[in-house]
Amino acid sequence: MFSYEFLDGGVDYDCLERIHRGAVDEWVSAVAGSGLFTNSQVSRIDGHWRHEPKSLLAALLSEADEMTVKRCEMTWSALDRLAPPAGQRELVALSGGGYTNMVVSASTTIA
């Protein structure tokens, strides 16, 4: 539905990075504002995209040509090496109590 906007003028790599880290508010707002979905459906879409942001990317690339898809997949893989996607970050206990989402895995920070 919004793939043409995502691909208009080429791939916006800053946007791709925001999606990778789970910052999907603008896309959820667009879905909610489309009038095509109920509030309950928008809420489920929001939760799914935040937990699995690559599913939003797949939807946005559904109408893209093969080279654009390949470029985005390569960029996504590079982003995975820098920081896991939002839904795959581990909860790590803080010394003062509580938990936080770490950008790098706990095993990397402990080593």
pTM of the model: 0.67
Q: What percent of the chain has pLDDT over 70?
A: 67
With 90 as the cut, is the pLDDT of residue 84 above it? no
> Can you tell me the distance from the alpha carbon of 8 to that of 47, in angstroms, rounded to the nearest whole number?
26
- CA distance to 17, 47, 90, 95, 96, per residue, from 100 (Å): 21, 19, 8, 11, 11
Cβ-contact 21, 53 below 8 angstroms: yes
pLDDT digit string, tens, across residues 54-83? 999 999 999 889 999 999 999 999 999 987
The 3-state secondary structure of 6-69, one letter per residue: HHCCCCCHHHHHHHHCCCCHHHHHHHHHHCCCCHHHHHHHHHHHHHCHHHHHHHHCCCCCHHHH
- Asked if residues 68 and 3 have their Cβ atoms less than 8 Å apart, the reply is no
